């Protein structure tokens, strides 16, 4: 992992009418890292992902990619620059084959696309390449979505709750696929995830937000032992 920053948020806020979903968020994402993003329901995690990937334009502050401002850039333009996203509910094109879904991903990418065969090898999708994407199981659909994202040739992939709905064995399998993608392509991964123990195993650092505000950003061992984080998840400590 290098210490060079690939993306920075500077004082980012997102208001929906009078409601502040994000307030004054500032932090950096390091090139090559796996950054976990966690926080209670409604903390603003999905809003944050959308602000980073172009689904939402923040109402204040700046988003920088490689030092250049991309705050108002739409999703397709960010994708062409190397910013991809996978969604909580797998968005595959059910009537196309698995291979065709990966090729659709390629058609949205920029100039630095990864080798198709290497994506198939990393994702392990080889045995189901000719199957209709709507017929495969949840893990395979999540893997197709990641494969299609990788096919765009991203430098950073934002993943919204990638482990949701998977059992313990499937979580291990999917985490390994994510790790292989990171090793092979040097891609930076940002994962919003409720399963904080699983997140701690794969993430280099974890960002905690609450009520749209920055709480802490550090190594998993530090974050999981942070009193404020424990309080957010478990409630205030009471003297016996």
Q: Under the rule (CB under 6 A), what is the footprint of ligand ATP?
A: 16, 19, 21, 39, 41-47
Q: Which residue has the tokens 């109402």?
A: 59
Q: How far is the CB of 37 from ligand ATP (least distance, A)?
A: 9
Closer residue to ligand ATP (CB): 11 or 134: 11
State the virtual CA torsion across 99, 158, 76, 48 in degrees, nearest 10.
150
Closer residue to ligand ATP (CB): 42 or 126: 42
Q: How far is the CB of 24 from ligand ATP (least distance, A)?
A: 15
Count of Cβ atoms closer than 10 Å to residue 55 Cβ: 16
Handedness of CA 89, 91, 97, 99 (dihedral sign): negative
CA 205 to chain centroid: 13
Nearby residues of 69 by Cβ (< 8 Å), 6 or more positions away: 62, 63
Q: How far is the CB of 104 from ligand ATP (least distance, A)?
A: 26
Q: How far is the CB of 94 from ligand ATP (least distance, A)?
A: 24
In Å, what is the CA distance from 10 to each residue of 25, 83, 134, 233? 7, 18, 40, 26
Closer residue to ligand ATP (CB): 89 or 129: 89
Q: In this structure, are residues 203 and 36 in contact, taking their beta carbons and an 8 Å threshold?
A: yes
Q: How far is the CB of 74 from ligand ATP (least distance, A)?
A: 17
Closer residue to ligand ATP (CB): 208 or 224: 208
State the distance between the two ends of the chain, measured CA to CA, in whole angstroms: 44
């Amino acid at each position: 992992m290098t210490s060079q920053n690939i993306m920075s948020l500077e004082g980012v806020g997102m208001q929906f009418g009078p409601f502040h979903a994000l307030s004054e968020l500032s932090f950096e994402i390091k090139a090559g890292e796996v950054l976990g993003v966690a926080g209670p329901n409604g903390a603003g995690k999905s809003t944050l992902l959308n602000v980073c990937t172009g689904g939402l334009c923040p109402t204040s502050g700046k988003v920088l990619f490689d030092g250049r401002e991309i705050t108002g850039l739409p999703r397709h333009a960010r994708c062409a620059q190397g910013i991809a996203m996978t969604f909580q509910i797998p968005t595959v094109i059910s009537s196309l084959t698995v291979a065709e879904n990966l090729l659709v991903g390629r058609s949205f990418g920029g100039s630095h696309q990864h080798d198709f065969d290497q994506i198939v090898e990393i994702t392990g999708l080889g045995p189901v390449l000719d199957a209709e994407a709507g017929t495969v199981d949840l893990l395979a659909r999540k893997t197709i979505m990641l494969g299609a994202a990788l096919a765009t040739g991203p430098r950073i992939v934002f993943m919204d709750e990638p482990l949701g709905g998977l059992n313990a064995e499937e979580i291990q399998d999917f985490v390994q696929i994510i790790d292989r993608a990171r090793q092979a392509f040097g891609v930076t991964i940002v994962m919003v995830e409720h399963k904080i123990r699983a997140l701690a195993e794969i993430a280099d650092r974890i960002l905690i937000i609450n009520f749209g505000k920055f709480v802490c950003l550090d190594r998993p061992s530090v974050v999981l032992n942070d009193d404020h984080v424990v309080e957010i998840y478990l409630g205030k400590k009471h003297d016996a």
